[in-house]
């Protein structure tokens, strides 16, 4: 049998749910044998596409797709400067696609190839938001009635619902919120939901790094009586040392990591047990290969996984999350945003949600495909991202 080689590496850009997605397709010398991977950086899709097609395609042409570790190292080091989100997502797309090919060659779903299942299905959490407390409560109740046991609650989105802000006469354009108002409202929200729903369901919350570090410490302390499953992203990567103060002052479980790109952003948090859940965006750190290593590293220190799973992860990326979740003994929970009908049509083989658990199919590799003809009907839109232009009442730009 002739040596199997990589013949083409290309990016497929599509937005069936209105969010820019980037899927990498690695084609081989065996007709019909290819792999898919997620490289979604929704707000810099053209930059990622360029890395994939202008640099990785010629770099990888003719190489053996079986050499996943070696190819990952070559891609990571080829530009000399590394650990940035654009390059990492491009690396991830190829890496996932190579694992997909490996599973197809073996005739095994990826979770079997990585050692077999540690559980039968993957518990997920859903997002309940609303403009009023009652609306949030109604959405929580609907999820709970559908069998979801873990629910993230927000009142008015990230940073809360901006009320009557006290502002100067001239402020820059942006998306405004009041951090102190947000803190007060979050405590009201948890008080209302616990009073309405009791303590039989698991509640989560995402601060999305919207607070000053000392305020984040205070919020974690104030939320302790409500027994959260976890409090998410209370600090930015640049302020990680503050986790030591959080840990010293309260027992609220902490999840962090969706902005992480570089291992130095998380290694000390894990070694010092300053967080309880690692929730990286696996394409942001370079794909399945580094995510599997990170999960094993976390296992040694009692840290659980909670991979990032929002709408700006492609269904291919969600499938990769689920395969890792099935394998890792230190799995904690999986964020799940769900799929719209158009996404299900473009990506046949999506994992399925049933009563709070997601199930992978048993097809070889990642078990998911892409209909490129349908994908082309949903082109990406390149425009200035608005929601990240966040500001506090005096007009100062703040972390989104």
Check whether 236 has a pLDDT greater than 80.
Answer: yes
Report if pTM > 0.85: yes
Q: Has residue 205 got a pLDDT over 70?
A: yes
Mean pLDDT for the chain?
97
Is pLDDT at 170 greater than 90 in this prediction? no
> Which element (helix H / strand E) includes 256?
strand 254-256
Average pLDDT, stretch 242-261?
97
* Nearest by Cα to 125 from 330, 320, 377, 357: 357
Q: What is the mean pLDDT of residues 268-293?
A: 98
The pLDDT, as a whole number, for residue 165 is: 87
Give, in order, the Cα–Cα distances in Å from 39 to each of 13, 163, 203, 286, 291.
10, 37, 30, 9, 14
* pLDDT tens per residue, range 106-119: 999 999 999 999 99
- Tell me the CB-side half-sphere exposure of residue 26, using CA atoms within 13 A: 36
At 296-335, the pLDDT tens digits run 999 999 999 999 999 999 999 999 999 999 999 999 999 9
CA distances from 137 to 192, 203, 252 (A): 8, 12, 22
Check whether 382 has a pLDDT greater than 90.
yes
**6-108 placed in CATH 3.30.390.10:** yes
Q: What is the pLDDT of residue 167?
A: 86
Question: Chain-centre distance of CA 205, in angstroms?
Answer: 15
SS3 call for 303: coil
pLDDT in tens, 76-124: 999 999 999 999 999 999 999 999 999 999 999 999 999 999 999 999 9
d(CA 374, CA 238): 41
Instruction: Give the C-alpha distances (Å, rounded to integers) separating 209 from 95, 107, 239, 347.
Output: 29, 43, 10, 32
Q: What is the mean pLDDT of residues 150-171?
A: 89
- Taking residues 243-265, what's their average pLDDT? 97
What's residue 1's pLDDT? 63
Q: Report domain extents, the chain.
A: 6-108, 112-362+387-391
What pLDDT is attached to residue 162? 77
Catalytic residues: 158, 208
| CB-based burial label for 314 (10 Å; 0-12, 13-18, 19+) | buried
pLDDT level of residue 294 (50, 70, 90 thresholds): very high
Residues 126 and 149: their CA atoms lie apart, in Å, by 9
Q: Using CA atoms, how far apart are residues 324 and 347, in angstroms rounded to an integer?
A: 19
pLDDT at 55 over 70: yes
Q: Which CATH architecture has domain 112-362+387-391?
A: Alpha-Beta Barrel (3.20)
């Amino acid at each position: 049998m002739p040596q199997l080689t990589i013949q083409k590496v290309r990016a497929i850009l599509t937005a069936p749910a209105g969010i820019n997605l980037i899927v990498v397709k690695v084609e081989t010398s065996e007709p019909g044998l290819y792999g898919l991977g997620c490289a979604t950086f929704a707000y810099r899709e053209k930059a990622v596409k360029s890395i994939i097609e202008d640099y990785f395609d010629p770099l990888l042409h003719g190489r053996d797709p079986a050499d996943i570790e070696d190819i990952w190292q070559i891609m990571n080091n080829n530009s000399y400067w590394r650990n940035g989100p654009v390059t990492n997502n491009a690396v991830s797309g190829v890496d996932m696609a190579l694992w997909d090919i490996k599973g197809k060659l073996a005739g095994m779903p990826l979770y079997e190839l990585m050692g077999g299942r540690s559980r039968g299905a993957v518990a997920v959490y859903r997002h309940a938001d609303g403009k009023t407390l009652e609306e949030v409560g109604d959405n929580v109740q609907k999820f709970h009635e559908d069998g979801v046991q873990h629910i993230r609650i927000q009142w008015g989105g990230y940073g809360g619902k901006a009320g009557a802000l006290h502002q100067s006469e001239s402020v820059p354009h942006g998306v405004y919120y009041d951090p102190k108002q947000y803190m007060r409202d979050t405590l009201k929200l948890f008080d209302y939901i616990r009073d309405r729903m009791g303590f039989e369901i698991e509640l989560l919350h995402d601060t999305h790094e919207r607070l000053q570090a000392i305020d984040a410490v205070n919020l974690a302390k104030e939320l302790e009586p409500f027994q959260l499953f976890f409090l998410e992203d209370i600090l930015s990567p640049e302020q990680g040392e503050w986790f030591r103060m959080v840990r010293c002052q309260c027992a609220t479980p902490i999840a962090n990591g969706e902005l992480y790109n570089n291992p130095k952003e998380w290694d000390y948090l894990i070694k010092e047990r300053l967080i309880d859940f690692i929730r990286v965006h696996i394409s942001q750190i370079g794909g399945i290969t580094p995510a599997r290593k990170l999960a094993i590293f976390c296992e040694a220190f009692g840290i659980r996984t909670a991979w990032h799973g929002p709408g700006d992860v492609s269904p291919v990326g969600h499938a990769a999350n689920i395969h890792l979740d099935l394998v890792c003994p230190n799995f904690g929970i999986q964020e799940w945003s769900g799929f719209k009908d158009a996404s299900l049509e473009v990506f046949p083989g999506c994992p399925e949600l049933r009563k709070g658990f997601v199930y992978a199919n048993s097809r070889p590799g990642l078990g998911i495909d892409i209909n490129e003809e349908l994908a082309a009907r949903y082109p990406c839109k390149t425009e200035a991202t608005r929601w990240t232009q966040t500001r506090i009442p005096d007009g100062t730009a703040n972390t989104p």
